[in-house]
Amino acid sequence: MENPVSNTLFERAQRSIPGGVNSPVRAWRGVGGTPRFIARGEGSHIFDVDGNEYIDYIGSWGPLLLGHRHPVIIEAIEKALTRGTSFGAPTEEEIELVETIRRLMPSIEMARLVNSGTEAGMSVLRVARGFTGRDITIKFEGCYHGHADSLLVKAGSGVATLGLPDSPGVPKGFSDTTIALPFNDVGAVERAFAEHPEQIAAVIVEPVCGNMGCVSPNGGYLEFLRQITLREGALLIFDEVMTGFRVAPGGAQQLYDIRPDLTMLGKVIGGGLPIAAYGGRREIMSRVAPSGPIYQAGTLSGNPLAVNAGLAMLRHIEQHPEIYDAMNHATATIAACAPADVTVNRVGSMMTWFFTPQPVTDYATAKRSDTARFGRFFHAMLDRGVYLPPSQFEAMFVSAVHSPADIEMTVKAARESFAIALS
Q: Which residues are catalytic?
A: 144, 239, 267
E-only strand ranges, 220-293:
235-240, 262-265, 276-280
Torsion-angle region of 154 (φ positive above 0: left; ψ -120 to 50: alpha; else: beta): left
Query: Rg for the chain (alpha carbons), in Å?
Result: 21
DSSP letter (8 states) at residue 27 = G
Enumerate the H helices of 143-185 as residue ranges: 157-162, 172-175
Three-class SS state of 347? strand
Residue type, 81: L
Q: Is 213 left (phi over 0), alpha (psi -120 to 50) or beta?
A: left
User: Are the C-beta atoms of 360 and 343 separated by less than 8 Å?
Assistant: yes
Per DSSP bridges, beta strands 350-354 and 343-347 are: antiparallel
Find all residues with CB under 8 Å of 67, minimum gap 6, and list them.
41, 42, 43, 44, 56, 59, 399, 400, 401, 402
The neighbouring-strand residues paired with 265 are 240, 277
Query: N- to C-terminal Cα distance for the chain?
Result: 22
Going by C-alpha positions, the residue among 191, 205, 197, 187 that lies closest to residue 134 is 197
- Closest Cα to residue 247, out of 336, 318, 351, 156? 351
Nearest to 338, CA basis, from 225, 405, 422: 422
Are the CB atoms for 127 and 285 separated by under 8 Å? yes
Beta 200-205 vs 235-240: how paired, if at all? parallel
Backbone angles phi, psi at 358, to 5 degrees: -90, 150
- For residues 176 and 172, what is the distance between their CA atoms, to the nearest angstrom? 6
Say if residue 35 is exposed, middle or buried (CB neighbours under 10 Å; 0-12, 13-18, 19+).
buried
